[in-house]
Amino acid sequence: MRVSHHQGGHMKIARVTGYPVKADVRCQFVVEVETDTGIIGLGEGGISGRELAMQGMLDHLSQQLIGADPSRIEHIWQQLYRGAYFEGGTILAAVVSAIDIALWDILGKNLGVPVWQLLGGAVRDRIPCFISPGKLSGPEIVDKAQAAIDEGWKVLRFGPGMLDFTWRETDGAVYDPLESLALSADMLREIRDAVGPQIALAIDFHHRLSPAEAAMFCQRVEPLGLYFVEEPIRGENPDAYAQLRTMTNVPLAIGEEFSSKWAFAPYIERGLTNFARLDVCNAGGLTESKKIAGMAEAHHIDVMPHNPLGPISTAASIHLAASVSNFAYLEYNPKHDRGRAVDLFPVAHELVGTSFPLPTEPGLGVTFNAEAAKDHPFEYWFPPRLKKADGSYTNW
């Protein structure tokens, strides 16, 4: 339905509300920005497990928003980011992301056009996705990979394997990097032998390796022609990735936890990543993501958005992907549409085959039922706490 634009002066922001809600295993942080004309924009903050921290930041930032013109999106972004003097931070960036996405949603609804139209128009007709069939923990993953291929998937990303690996949120599961990288390489080799050379295979180590361990793994799998190895080591220090780059030619995908274009800059400018795994709900919203994508485009690096949250994150990622030429694939989680909390998100984008169609509804094209939030109260959630065999803590 087309929403006519506001007559008789500028809209103003009248209300800003955060909803930390338990949507499935984890919580989601949904933000509503409402104007004095009744248009409500939706956004989502991406720091999972820190929803109350994001709510606290939203309480601060909302003081600057009431009465503002929601169409001045870049101006508001700069005001929110620079307004506290202290530079950046993941919580600030996530909440600015949520507000920014909501402002684009408002503008699209007010003008009666999908957000991608406001971002420069569509450069593609559909948004192709990749899927994650499971962990490389044993021969059964070969069957899961084949099942995904039978459904039409062409790009498969896996989690690292362990022979005896169970998630325990209190005392930690044991993760042995050397065992994991050996098993993961073996299972990827079996999958490649089974599915042939046409399917793109990838793995996400989720920061669990050191540069030496990552190099060992990459050297083992170089003959398999992997599409990418994602986040093998932590990203605080780009020099560590520079060291890894000298030891392997395997393509790398980095950046899902980065919270600004400045964090991405050394990885893009120094050729340390082959895919920018930007998260529109962490990196500063659509406004900042377009800038990161432009920086990547100048270096012939494709954007491959991180998308582990909910329908609002998926929608924002779809609109970004529709509007940037250097887009590869969007991360897809079946929970986002097939298993979503329908009472919270009555309308969401639905996958067709292995792609999302170009959205046609004004704004983001997603709805949120705030009344249902009371049925999904916030619960504290912590990621699995992994330890090595000697009892020391390691990355999840």
Q: Which domain holds residue 136?
A: 117-363
pLDDT above 90 as % of the chain: 85
What is the mean predicted confidence (pLDDT) over 62-86?
A: 95
Dihedrals phi, psi of 124, to nearest 5 degrees: -150, 160
- The per-residue pLDDT for range 242-289, each reduced to its tens digit, is 999 999 999 999 999 999 999 999 999 999 999 999 999 999 999 999
Q: Is the pLDDT of residue 23 over 90?
A: no
What is the mean predicted confidence (pLDDT) over 385-393?
A: 86
Q: Is residue 106 part of a domain?
A: no
Burial code (b: 16+ CB inside 10 Å, e: under 16) for 44-73 equals bbbbbebbebbbebbeebbebbeebebbeb
Q: Is the pLDDT of residue 1 over 50?
A: no
> Is residue 134 within 8 Å of residue 162, measured between CB atoms?
no
Q: Is residue 375 part of a domain?
A: no
CATH assignment of the domain containing 167: 3.20.20.120
Q: Is residue 92 part of a domain?
A: no
> Is residue 32 within 8 Å of residue 102, measured between CB atoms?
yes
Helices (H), 119-236: 140-150, 177-195, 211-221
Q: Is residue 111 part of a domain?
A: no
Q: Is residue 166 part of a domain?
A: yes
Residues forming the active site:
206, 306
Instruction: Identify the three-state secondary structure at position 35.
Output: strand
> Is residue 94 within 8 Å of residue 282, measured between CB atoms?
yes
- The per-residue pLDDT for range 128-169, each reduced to its tens digit, is 999 999 999 999 999 999 999 999 999 999 999 986 655 444
Query: pLDDT class for 26, splitting at 50, 70, 90?
Result: confident
> Is residue 41 within 8 Å of residue 103, measured between CB atoms?
yes
Q: Is residue 35 part of a domain?
A: no
Q: Is residue 56 part of a domain?
A: no
Quote the number of domains for the chain.
1
Q: Is residue 123 part of a domain?
A: yes
